Structure 1
């Protein structure tokens, strides 16, 4: 299983306190977008680029209306249907993923092999979503689906839980509470 590191937070630091070149992260997503469009011949529109930039800048899943609001804050507010079309395009080109359980979207952080299953680790505390690709899970699911005569379209698994940073913050808060309770 290969793990994509937890993405950066809003202030350019990843969620473990290490420095993160957020501008390079966003630029990398745009470069992948441009290369993919050049290869496929897909049209690179201004709105598609802006939507991808917002997804890359966020590092947490965003709903279409969140994107509309963000784009409106930095210029002209696009119609929601146009944002949905841009998101559909980004998903179809493999540049973004739809997080079904959140009805939201996340920029794709890696290339995926044909037999990989994409696993999203979604923190219920802070919303950070890590993308993990697993060939082993893909192999097992391929076997199970073939046994049933089923052909999967999008092999994705979403796992909700608590990231290391939120777990550490909870432990720290619990530790601070114990002395106060003991003093009573």
Structure 2
């Protein structure tokens, strides 16, 4: 029994000695790794840190310069955009003026056409009265009478809501008549 006990102790000692050797090897490897890390990050290499700081400072200055150039470029582009917008506004104003001018020209043409048609009618009526008597009405020749052209109402008239004053007066007159009739 003693021999069995000694054999068990010997095997346990052998296994514990092999485990302790493995632990020592692992500890030595860790120590070597720590020494290497400490060497790489030691504060004795201040000159490398100074050069890194100088490089960072130069990079910062370069980015500042590029940002300033970008700001100037943006200001120039913004001023060009403002110029283009003002030119567009002027063009829109010119288009509105052209439209109003065309509308006024059309109304002048309408008036002149209606004048000529009235004069043609009056002239025909006067001539026929002289020839055929007072109660004679001449036949209307469609070729001689000039009718005014029909024009579309332009957009600015619709926008400003220009209303025919004659229709307004008729509406007011009808309302007055209705109010007189209801009071009696």
TM-score, structure 2 normalization: 0.23
| Larger gyration radius, structure 1 or structure 2 | 2
TM-score, structure 1 normalization: 0.23
**Greater share of residues in helix:** 2
